[in-house]
A = this chain, B = another copy of it.
Amino acid sequence: MSEKKISSNVVWHHATIDRRRREALNGHKSVILWFTGLSGSGKSTLAHAVEERLYDMKCRTFVLDGDNIRHGLCGDLGFSDADREENIRRIGEVAKLFLEAGVITLTAFISPFRADRERVRNLVLHGDFLEIYCKCPLEICEQRDVKGLYKKARAGEIKAFTGIDSPYEEPLTPELTVETGRESLEESTEKVIGLLRERGIIPDA
């Protein structure tokens, strides 16, 4: 009876470092900032600018966008309705993991369909998903056309392009709207930082 138990009989207990403990270590809360808007509306640029401001405040952040998702996790998906839905579903699930990891998670995808965005919102608790609408008139996005995609869509080389021959469903009650067609990047960035302060995600300045 006094023998040292061999480990095969020991029930190893399951240590758990959870979200709250990670947030305590980080000195801020985690959240999903879901940027949505037309191609060229500045979602990814804004997300990265917000991330840079947060880094300077020593916050832990990560941006999920086409650059790191489309060729990796979702490299097997195309642009059919079903594939777009699955794309957003996976991104939502990954964002949820980063949320649990204590990270301020910024996602920058057109995510044109309300139902897809709502599905992600419903994956997490109220307040963990903040929808940020990058509102920018189609004409300005098309005029910028940084990636040349609008030109191709107009020429019919790309089918089902959001804003051209596929709809963009505007958020009805986003937590924040930034008018990326007329605000400067700095203004939009400050609005997002303001939202994070207001919601108690990051400490007051």
Interface residue count on the A side (C-beta < 8 Å) = 53
Residues of B within 8 A of A180 (CB): 7
How many angstroms between the C-alpha atoms of A48 and B16 in the bound complex? 6
Number of copies: 2
Would A184 and B10 count as touching, CB distance under 8 A? yes
From A123, which residue of chain B is reached at the shortest CB distance?
B72
Contact (Cβ within 8 A) A7 B64: no
Known: A7-B183, A8-B181, A185-B12. Is A94-B68 also a contact (CB below 8 A)? no
A129 sits at the interface (CB 8 A): no
Looking at the complex, which one of B12, B14, B97 makes contact with A62 (CB distance below 8 Å)? B97
The answer to whether A15 and B51 have CB atoms under 8 Å apart is yes
Q: Are B101's CB and A17's CB within 8 A?
A: no
Interface residues of A (CB under 8 A from B): 6-8, 10-17, 21-22, 25, 42, 44-46, 48-49, 51-52, 55, 58, 60-62, 64, 68, 72-73, 76, 86, 90, 93-94, 96-98, 100-103, 140, 143-144, 146, 180-185
The 5 A-B pairs with the shortest beta carbon distances in the complex, nearest first, are: A12-B45, A15-B52, A73-B93, A62-B101, A8-B140
Q: A7-B184, A60-B102 are in contact. List 6 more A-B contacts (CB 8 A).
A: A7-B185, A8-B140, A12-B49, A15-B49, A62-B97, A98-B98
